[in-house]
Amino acid sequence: MRHSQLRAFHYVAYLGGFSRAAEFLFLTQPAISEQVRKLEQDHDVLLFHRERKRVRLTNEGEQLFRYTKQYFEVEKKIEEYLSATSAVLDGELRIVADSAHHITFLLGKFCKQYPHVSVTLNTGNTESILENLRAYNAEIGIVGAVPQGKDMEILDLGSTEITAFAANDFPLNSKRSITIKDLSKLPLIFRESGSKTRQKLVDEAKKHGINLKPAIVAEGREAVREVVASGAGIGFVSQAEYGSDDRFTKLKLRDVNIQMSESIVHLTQRGDVKVIRIFMDFAREMLPRV
């Protein structure tokens, strides 16, 4: 097994094709294909399903890709160590957040200070965010519940109360607050399974002997907002995520106080990755000023 074979495999998997990997590595496609073929042949393993215009990892390929992510990250750490005197921070910072509201106050200032870092921001629920971090598909996560275990480094962003909200024309008889019992009689708009906001609300209702069931399940917070805006039912967010939208009326949950915490997290074992370390230091410095 050679470094060049692993590198060819890794970038085919990472970029989703032999041509893209060849272009990225400044090699020809036949050279990349031969490196991967030799790796498979030497170890009697099939790493890719080769289809007409795309490739797809086999189960064995998925597992090897998980290892090569770690392998090439160690290689990057060595490069960073050897160039530690450089004042320029570059590279890629992939952030997955349960809500962009919790990170936007940092991103503008971070990008201004470190213009050579390419930042991408995607959304997901807490469960999918932790999966992405553990699979090395993201560097930073913003989650609504502190993950269990010691594999995550955590920076607390504080907590706010969960609130209900409805379209202005939703028939609520001018109510500005609502009880858990009221909710059981109304159409509820929930996020997908894995949402901590949803789970906390359902768990609290059960303590009161009430079973809450959604009328509609929407994928992602923005989808929930649009469904609620249509007048289809009642949605739920933390106060920090509510924002300002003239289409909605905020409804306080009168008989409960369900707090939603938010945290910045990353894999503990990746704490010495330069871009992660500097982002976390930057966040700690900025938080007291917010």
**CATH, residue 196:** 3.40.190.10
- Say if residue 244 is in the same domain as residue 194: yes
- Burial profile 119-131: b = 16 or more Cβ within 10 angstroms, e = fewer: bebebbbbbbbbb
**Given the DSSP bridges, would you call strands 55-57 and 48-50 parallel, antiparallel or unpaired?**
antiparallel
- Decide if pLDDT at 289 tops 70: no
Tell me: do 146 and 15 sit in the same domain: no
Least confident of 142-156, 175-189, 211-225: 142-156
| Per-residue CA distances from 98 to 223, 225, 250 (Å) | 13, 14, 20
Residue 83 in any domain: the answer is: no
Tokens representing 138?
């993201």
Mean pLDDT of 135-139: 94
Same domain, 273 and 200: no
Contact status, residue 124 vs residue 95, Cβ threshold 8 Å? no
- Residue 116 domain flag: yes
Q: 75 lies in a domain?
A: no
DSSP string, the chain: --HHHHHHHHHHHHHTSHHHHHHHHT--HHHHHHHHHHHHHHHT---EEE-SS-EEE-HHHHHHHHHHHHHHHHHHHHHHHHTTT-----EEEEEEES-GGGTHHHHHHHHHH-TTEEEEEEE--HHHHHHHHHTTS-SEEEESSPPSSSSEEEEEEEEEEEEEEEETTS-STT-SEE-HHHHTTS-BEEE-TT-HHHHHHHHHHHHTT-----SEEESSHHHHHHHHHTTS-BEEEEHHHH---TTEEEEEETT---EEEEEEEEEGGGTTSHHHHHHHHHHHHHGGG-
Q: Where does residue 149 fall: left (phi above 0), alpha (psi -120 to 50 degrees), or beta otherwise?
A: left
Domain presence at residue 95: yes
- pLDDT at position 105: 78
In angstroms, the CA 198 to CA 192 distance is 8
Residue 266 in domain: yes
pLDDT in tens, 29-80: 888 999 999 999 999 999 999 887 789 999 999 999 999 999 989 888 887 7
Q: Are residues 163 and 251 in the same domain?
A: yes
* 85 inside domain: no
pLDDT of residue 290: 42
Angle of helix 3-15 relative to helix 29-43, nearest 10 degrees, comes to: 110
**Is 118 inside a domain boundary?**
yes
pLDDT digits (tens, 9 = 90+) for 236-274: 988 878 878 889 999 999 888 888 888 899 999 999 898
The pTM (predicted TM-score) of the whole model is 0.61
Cα distance between residue 281 and residue 173, in whole Å? 49
Asked if 52 and 103 sit in the same domain, the reply is no
CATH of the domain at 10: 1.10.10.10
Per-residue pLDDT, 175: 76
User: Which range in 44-48, 82-86, 110-114, 194-198 is most confidently predicted, on average pLDDT?
Assistant: 44-48
What is the distance, to the nearest Å, from the Cα of residue 146 to the centroid of all Cα atoms in its chain?
14
Are 19 and 148 contained in the same domain?
no
What distance in Å separates the CA atoms of residue 5 and residue 1, rounded to the nearest whole number? Answer: 7
For 254, the domain range is: 159-259
- The answer to whether residues 274 and 248 belong to one domain is no
Q: Are 4 and 35 in contact (CB under 8 A)?
A: yes
Q: Indicate the number of domains in the chain.
A: 3
